[in-house]
């Protein structure tokens, strides 16, 4: 993970650590009410206490966030233009993580790694399937930390790419909150 670069000058491991650092800033803000230290664009639903209540334990999230791309060194390709790609990296990362799993929590972390991209890419019926997972809130919050980490590093917080990714996560969060509210009313 140290030898493969997520972006120029930033290894896959550095990327995981930075995603976790962004997550810490948001997590402490949401759970303790402290001011944010980083520059965020937050959706309205983020302050719903039901969303925060459904987050997985901090230590599990920390390990998942740092190692979520651990398989990228094993699936990296470079196209004719010199641009790198990581096809099927979530599944390869899951397989890589599980190869070294030692404790029961490793299986849960592996599943988070496997589902990592769903918060960013699920469409149509796949959204409803994703939102049925008890990990959905944790994956969406991690997704927010990741897009902010990447955009900050690349100095693209106002880019169309960031806005598109934010919009996807915002839709997921709204649907998840609506799902929570339906269960409360029922």
Contacts of 83 (CB under 8 A, 6+ apart): none
Residue 26 falls inside a structural domain: yes
Residue 74 falls inside a structural domain: no
Would you list the DSSP string of 71-107? Answer: THHHH-EE-TTS-EE-TTHHHHHHHHHHHT--SHHHH
Directed axis angle between helix 12-32 and helix 136-153, to 10°?
A: 120
HSE-up of 112 (CA within 13 Å, CB side)?
29
Residue 163 falls inside a structural domain: yes
How many domains does the chain fold into?
1
Q: So what's the pLDDT on residue 127? A: 85
- Model pTM score: 0.90
Higher local confidence (pLDDT), 90 or 4:
90
Q: So what's the pLDDT on residue 92? A: 94
Q: Does the pLDDT value for residue 183 go beyond 70? A: no
CB 147 within 8 A of CB 166: yes
Q: Does the pLDDT value for residue 138 go beyond 70? A: yes
Q: Does the pLDDT value for residue 134 go beyond 80? A: yes
Residue 67 falls inside a structural domain: no
Q: Does the pLDDT value for residue 124 go beyond 90? A: no
Residue 48 falls inside a structural domain: yes
Residue 10 falls inside a structural domain: yes
pLDDT digits over 72-118, tens only? 989 888 899 988 888 889 999 999 999 988 877 788 999 999 999 88
Residue 41 falls inside a structural domain: yes
Residue 127 sits in which domain range? 5-60+114-180
Q: How confident is the model at residue 12 (pLDDT cuts 50, 70, 90)?
A: confident
Residue 161 falls inside a structural domain: yes
Q: So what's the pLDDT on residue 155? A: 78
């Amino acid at each position: 993970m140290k030898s493969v670069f997520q972006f120029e000058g930033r290894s896959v491991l550095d990327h995981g650590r930075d995603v976790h650092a962004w997550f810490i800033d948001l997590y402490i803000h949401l759970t303790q009410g402290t001011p944010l230290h980083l520059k965020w664009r937050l959706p309205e639903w983020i302050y719903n206490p039901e969303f925060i209540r459904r987050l997985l334990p901090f230590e599990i999230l920390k390990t998942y966030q740092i190692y979520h791309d651990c398989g990228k060194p094993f699936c990296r390709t470079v196209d004719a233009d010199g641009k790198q790609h990581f096809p099927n990296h979530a599944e390869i990362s899951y397989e890589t993580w599980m190869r070294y799993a030692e404790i029961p929590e490793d299986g849960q972390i592996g599943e988070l790694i496997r589902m990592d991209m769903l918060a960013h890419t699920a469409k149509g019926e796949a959204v409803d399937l994703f939102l049925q997972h008890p990990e959905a809130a944790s994956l969406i919050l991690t997704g927010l930390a990741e897009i902010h980490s990447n955009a900050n590093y690349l100095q693209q917080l106002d880019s169309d790419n960031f806005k598109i990714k934010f919009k996807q996560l915002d839709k997921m969060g709204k649907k998840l909150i609506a799902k929570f509210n339906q269960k409360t009313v029922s």
